[in-house]
Structures are given as structure tokens and as C-alpha cells.
């Protein structure tokens, strides 16, 4: 279940708020400048190719490109049997920022976005049907869990794709990880 859990920097072990109603999640995040929406998904095979996925969502991808100026779209997919899953997980676990919006639409599975906004951390467990756009410059990180299972469409204004600037802040290590938050909601 899509879940937004909010923590305060003063006590990152205890949630201040937990929200599971999509419209309320959308409102809370909108107040912070983060776009969240629920979109319908298509029935595609688990092993659908990137081209098949992009073709199935061509209308939505084109609309986002026109609306927000994205130049490219691709598909990222990871499963629990991937031999490099631990290295991929580690790559995204440290707080970082981007010089463009980070947009993900979950076609399959789930993952956990953490947004460090002021003195709070917003942990958004995204799942199939969820679209999130993290504005450029917002400190965040992503946890796919130890046994990742997800497929996402990613959109970029930079044709080079995902480029991060790490902040050096160790806050990501202090907030409950995927195992604690995703496990509590399923």
C-alpha cells in the first residue's frame, strides 16, 4: 500500500505522521512542492521489454515531455535475482540532489523515496500506479530494499540521464530503512 511516513530530525526513530489515503498524500506532498499522482497501469508481462513498456505508455510519456520539458525517457527494472542488487541498492541510499526533477512512474513493484525537507524526512513508499516528481535541488534518496522488485519509467531533461550530487549528510543512515517501513505496511 502506498504510504507516506513523516519523521522529524530530532527523533528519526519515531514517525510523526503516517498517511495511506492517496489524495491526502498528494495534498501533503504538494504543500512541499513535490508532485505525486496515481495513474492507471497496463497489463504487461513481468518480463516486458523496455521498448514494450515505453510503447504502452507512449501517450503519458509524451504528455509529461510536453508539460515539463523532458527530453528522454527510459525504463529501469530490478528483481531480487539480480546479481548486483546490493550494489544498486547502495548506489541510491545516500542523500543527494539533482539539477533536474527526478520523475518515476511505477509500472510494477515498489520502492521507497525519502525526501529531506527542512527539519523533516518524508518517506514515501511508492508502488505500482504511483508517479512521483522530486523537484531539482530537493535532498532525497531511494531504497529499493534487499530483495528489489520494481519497474519504473524515468524521465529526464538531461539526455545523459541520472546524475546526482551527494550532500555528504549521513541522515539517510539514521532513518528506518525499507525493511522497517515497507514491512510495516504489507
Q: Whole-angstrom Cα distance, residue 90 to residue 19?
A: 27
Q: Is 96 annotated as a binding residue?
A: yes
- 172 Cβ partners below 8 Å, 6+ apart? 93, 94, 95, 114, 141
3-class DSSP string for 160-178: CCCCCEECCCCHHHCCCCH
**What 3-state class would DSSP assign to 142?**
strand
Q: Is 8 annotated as a binding residue?
A: no
Q: Is 35 annotated as a binding residue?
A: no
C-alpha cell at position 87: 550494489
- Give the residue from 97, 98, 99, 79 showing the smallest Cα distance to 88: 79
- Taking each continuous run of H as one helix and of E as one strand, the counts in the chain are 5, 11
Inter-residue contact 78 to 88 (CB < 8 Å): yes
Bridge partners of 72, per DSSP, are: 156
Would you list which residues are annotated within the binding site for Fe(2+)?
Answer: 96, 98, 102, 140
Would you list which residues are annotated within the binding site for Ni(2+)?
Answer: 96, 98, 102, 140
Would you list which residues are annotated within the binding site?
Answer: 96, 98, 102, 140
Amino acid at each position: 500500500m502506498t504510504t507516506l511516513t513523516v519523521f522529524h530530525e530530532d527523533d528519526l526513530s519515531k514517525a510523526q505522521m503516517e498517511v495511506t489515503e492517496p489524495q491526502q498524500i498528494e495534498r501533503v506532498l504538494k504543500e512541499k512542492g513535490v508532485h505525486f499522482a496515481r495513474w492507471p497501469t497496463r497489463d504487461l508481462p513481468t518480463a516486458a521489454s523496455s521498448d514494450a513498456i515505453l510503447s504502452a505508455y507512449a501517450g503519458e510519456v509524451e504528455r509529461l515531455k510536453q508539460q515539463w520539458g523532458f527530453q528522454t525517457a527510459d525504463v529501469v527494472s530490478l528483481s531480487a535475482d539480480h546479481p548486483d542488487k546490493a550494489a544498486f541498492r547502495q548506489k541510491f541510499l545516500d542523500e543527494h540532489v539533482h539539477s533536474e526533477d527526478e520523475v518515476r512512474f511505477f509500472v510494477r513493484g515498489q520502492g521507497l523515496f525519502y525526501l529531506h525537507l527542512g527539519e523533516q524526512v518524508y518517506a514515501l513508499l511508492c508502488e505500482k500506479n504511483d508517479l512521483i516528481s522530486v523537484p531539482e535541488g530537493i535532498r532525497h534518496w531511494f531504497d529499493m530494499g534487499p530483495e528489489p522488485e520494481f519497474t519504473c519509467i524515468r524521465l529526464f531533461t538531461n539526455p545523459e540521464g541520472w546524475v546526482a550530487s551527494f550532500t555528504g549528510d549521513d541522515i539517510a543512515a539514521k532513518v528506518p530503512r525499507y525493511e522497517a517501513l515497507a514491512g510495516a505496511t504489507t
